[in-house]
Amino acid sequence: MKNYKYLQIAALLGALAVGIGAFGAHGLSETLASYGTAETFETAVKYHFYHVMALLVCSLLMDTYPENRKLKNAFWLFFTGILIFSGSLYILSLTGVSWLGAITPIGGVAFIAGWIMMLLSAKPKNL
């Protein structure tokens, strides 16, 4: 596998999603309850997991189609989406700092752009 670093990044973010989700459910329940943000935290974990799966698909396809730059772009858009979307929701959930919600949609746009880039990567000339 030539693109092992992408698979490693995806695996690391997957492990973090499990750890963050478990810590939120067990170690942060009082904090999340005090801010009333348990649902927001859960949304962050859910989208984190969904897009780790997208990262895994991209990393595996990049190994099969190493010349396909759109797959690499999709990977980094999903990565950026996890950082901004889920990251801002994690921080908002733990701190109650509501202005962070203003940057969350930027992460959502990165997710959408990643899926569009993956769609564009599937043209026959690219695969």
* 108-125 tens-digit pLDDT: 999 999 999 999 998 776
Return the structure tokens found at 126: 């690219």
The secondary structure element, H or E, covering residue 35 is helix 29-35
Q: What is the Cβ-side half-sphere exposure of residue 44, based on CA atoms within 13 angstroms? A: 30
When pLDDT is averaged across residues 13-25 and rounded to a whole number, the result is 92
User: Residues 45-56: pLDDT tens digits?
Assistant: 999 999 999 999
Query: 31 or 19: which carries more pLDDT confidence?
Result: 19
Does residue 89 contact residue 104 with C-beta atoms inside 8 Å? Answer: yes
CA distance 66 to 121: 12
Query: 89 or 1: which carries more pLDDT confidence?
Result: 89
Average pLDDT, rounded, for the chain: 91
First CA to last CA across the chain, in angstroms? 17
